[in-house]
A and B are shown apart, each in its own frame.
Chain A
Amino acid sequence: MSEILLEVKNLSVRFPIWGGILRQKIAEVRAVENVSFTIKKGETLGLVGESGCGKTTTAKAICHILKETSHGVVQEGEIIFHSENGPVNLLSLNRKEMRFYRREIQMIFQDPFSSLNPRMTVSEIIQRPLKIHTKMNKKERRTRVTDLLEKVGLQPEYALRYPHEFSGGQRQRIGIARALAVRPKLIIADEPVSALDVSVQSQVINLLEDLQDEFGLTYLFVAHDLSVINHVSDRISVMYLGRIVETGSAEQVYSSPLHPYSQALISAIPQTDPAKRSDRIMLKGEIPSSMNKPSGCSFNPRCPIAVAECSTKIPELREMNDHHSAACDLLELK
């Protein structure tokens, strides 16, 4: 296989909760715990899980958004980005050092209605990254904007319009054009289609795939929509309560999920073919709060196959067969 572009090793993210008169730390949200994954050059890693499981937090940690916006956030572990100048741990960089890598890692946001500044024209929005990271002159920047708009399927004359004049799908295309402006290597797509209509979703996904082929992009694709993830991803990591419970190729995770949570999740995908319909695994209870996680395997209170020792020992992610790993100690016992 090709070389590794991004390696996340044992990433943990904890948000403090401030309270009391003196605003001291009274509790902690463990949003992401011991998350590890690797993304190879040119592939798409899908990060899937229900809301609140930490997938967006993981994405934001890679882009240093948490570091810049959340005071007191604790981020442990390593996020190793393999740039041309060799590997670098993004987490250990300060803002100035990070700025150098920003042009290689760009992000697409979930909500196209808030991710574009309403007071800037499309041209201004797309030109900002160029102004910061390149020495292009005005004319070159304009040409690049026209190129990019054509690439994402928008007419170049839209360049001087304001975001409020566009539909959700068009806005998301503008967001994609902005991310592409400085020719990044890695694009972190944080639920890029979940705010869009289904008909528009497929257009945007196809656009992302076309762009991947054209520019050799690597995606970290965060989503909660299983069919979307299955469509775009080469490999999939399933997250539950801040931990990755299963990682494997899209094929492996979809056709033969190992972890009981993944099994339940996959069984919830509506099937159009009645012959393929199987019994849906109904999970009992609700997803626990990440402030007060269950001990041991965080899935144990809802797990259909849980045994007593599940509530004492935290299972490690173990490779079960051919790059397909799951975090469940019961799998061998079966």
Chain B
Amino acid sequence: MTLKKSASPQQLRWRRFKRLKRGYYSFIILFTLYLLSFLLPFLVNNRAIVVKYNDKYYFPGLVNYVHDTFNLGLANIYLADEFNQTGENDDPLFGEANYRLLSSQFEEESGDNYVIMPPVPFNPIENFLSLDGNPPHSPSSIHWFGTDDSARDVFARLAYGFRISISFALMITFISYFFGIIVGAFLGFYGRWFDILGQRLVEIWGAIPFLYTVIILSAVFSPSFILLVVIMSIFSWMGITYYIRGEFYREKTKDYVSAAIVTGENNLTIMFRHILPNALTPIITFAPFAIVGSIASLVALDFLGFGLPVPTPSWGEILKQAKASLRDWHLAVFPLVAMFVTLQLIVFIGEAVREAFDPKVFSRLR
């Protein structure tokens, strides 16, 4: 006799989701891209992946080689002197090595030494002021998407901006869901005056103009990534409470809750173990759209200049520069395309999730 656990409702929905090709492939693409974005130091970086020098291996993309080169009590990222890298007029270089040049230097020396650079050998906060003309530079074969007004590579900034945007949105969604679920569960489960009072408080909180508050807070504190996530989460959990509260109101009248009471379960167990798994449908369906909303608000905040601190790579910041110099089409087109594709993929996922959760198997999104 083999005891095989059969498919839970959630697993059945996952199977149905997999059958909805557009959403499923969007999910795979986005998920892969997001995973890849954690390898960005090896894909888009001005530090080499591997340097072999005098039979020693270095991994500057992974490890910070810190060393007090001049014995001044200052920690420096060294390696330039370690590799005997030379700059103009064959002067020895100190500090961080320039791996792009190091590569050609090693080739000239034609020894065993070599440098393996990432496919895109630029850092998102590196200024290429030595390029011809004034920044922003138009797209070229070296800088595929051109550079921005500080001569930073737009492709590198978009790539790092993708990771930041998605991480930002995921964190906000997670935190606001966490608090929204707890508050909504209590309001819905206990009901009565607690619900009436609690809901009014939630409404008052929700009536605080979000953007102004963020602007004021940004002016007082210098916004960091974490601070922005916290501020945004503080103002985005309210919507979730309404869904969860409604679901709890509906679910708590069902017999399985009475059965749990008769069994002798305590209230917290009834709420979070018995009712909550049955109350998640609307907010799971809503999650992709919440993520879209968070990405869009981050772009908006960065566009207005109240978002992430410079020089953090962000899409909104590039768009802001595009507004300042409309002639440089590449500053507007590439971030917008990146945003459009990302948001579209998430919306496709959202549609498929909604459909996978639809109890009517044959209904279609029209």
Contact = CB atoms under 8 A, between A and B. Distances in A.
6 contacts: A105-B262, A109-B259, A119-B277, A132-B263, A157-B2, A162-B6
Interface in A86-111: 98-99, 102-103, 105-107, 109-111
A132 B258 contact: no
Contacts of B196: 23
A138 interface: no
A132 B264 contact: yes
A157 B259 contact: no
Contact of A71 (B7, B192, B259, B277): B192
Contacts of A98: 264
A1 B259 CA distance: 32
B72 interface: no
A193 to B, nearest CB: 15
Nearest to A110: B255
Contact of B9 (A68, A107, A119, A159): A119
Contacts of A105: 262
Contact of B260 (A106, A128, A159, A164): A128
A159 B265 contact: no
A64 B278 contact: no
Contact of A115 (B5, B7, B191, B259): B259
Across the A-B interface, give the 3 residue pairs with the lowest CB-CB distance, nearest first.
Answer: A115-B255, A119-B277, A102-B264
Interface in B84-142: none
A178 B259 contact: yes
B13 to A, nearest CB: 12
B6 A116 contact: no
B265 A128 contact: yes
Interface string B182-205: 000000000111001000000000
B261 interface: yes
Contacts of A107: 258-259, 262
Nearest to A100: B264
A69 B9 contact: no
Nearest to B280: A119
A56 to B, nearest CB: 11
A65 B263 CA distance: 11
Given A116-B256, A117-B278, A118-B278, A69 B263 contact: no
B66 to A, nearest CB: 51
A292 interface: no
Given A117-B278, A132-B264, A161 B258 contact: no
A178 B255 CA distance: 14
Interface string B1-42: 111111111100000000000000000000000000000000
Contacts of B191: 71
Given A114-B255, A114-B256, A115-B255, A162 B8 contact: yes
B256 A157 contact: no
B258 A129 contact: no
Given A65-B258, A109-B258, A117 B264 contact: no
B327 interface: no
Nearest to A116: B256
B252 interface: yes
B261 to A, nearest CB: 5
A129 B10 CA distance: 24
Interface string A159-179: 111101100000000010010
B360 interface: no
B263 A102 contact: yes
B3 A160 contact: yes
B9 to A, nearest CB: 6
Given A68-B261, A118-B278, A160-B6, 14 more contacts: A23-B196, A60-B258, A64-B262, A65-B261, A106-B262, A109-B259, A114-B256, A116-B256, A129-B263, A133-B264, A157-B1, A162-B6, A165-B6, A178-B259
B254 interface: yes
A120 B10 CA distance: 11
A99 B257 CA distance: 16
Nearest to A162: B8
A68 B5 CA distance: 34
B274 interface: yes
Nearest to B191: A71
B280 to A, nearest CB: 9
B277 A65 contact: no
Nearest to B259: A115
A69 B255 contact: no
Contacts of B9: 118-119, 162, 164
Given A109-B255, A117-B278, A160-B3, A69 B8 contact: no
Contacts of A99: 264
In this complex, which of B7, B254, B264 has the most chain A Cβ atoms within 10 angstroms of its Cβ?
B264
B5 A121 contact: yes
A68 B189 CA distance: 11
Given A160-B4, A160-B6, A119 B278 contact: yes
A166 B7 CA distance: 13
Interface in A148-192: 156-157, 159-162, 164-165, 175, 178
A63 interface: yes
A153 to B, nearest CB: 17
Contact of A64 (B6, B8, B253, B261): B261
A134 B256 CA distance: 21
Contacts of B254: 114-115
Nearest to B254: A114
Contacts of B255: 109-111, 114-115
A155 B241 CA distance: 41
Nearest to B2: A157
B4 to A, nearest CB: 7
A175 B191 CA distance: 28
B311 to A, nearest CB: 47
Interface string B156-192: 0000000000000000000000000000000000011
A132 B256 contact: no
B264 A129 contact: yes
In this complex, which of A63, A68, A106, A121 has the most chain B Cβ atoms within 10 angstroms of its Cβ?
A68
A161 B6 contact: yes
B185 to A, nearest CB: 15
B277 to A, nearest CB: 4
A80 B63 CA distance: 74
Interface string A46-74: 00000000000000100111001101000
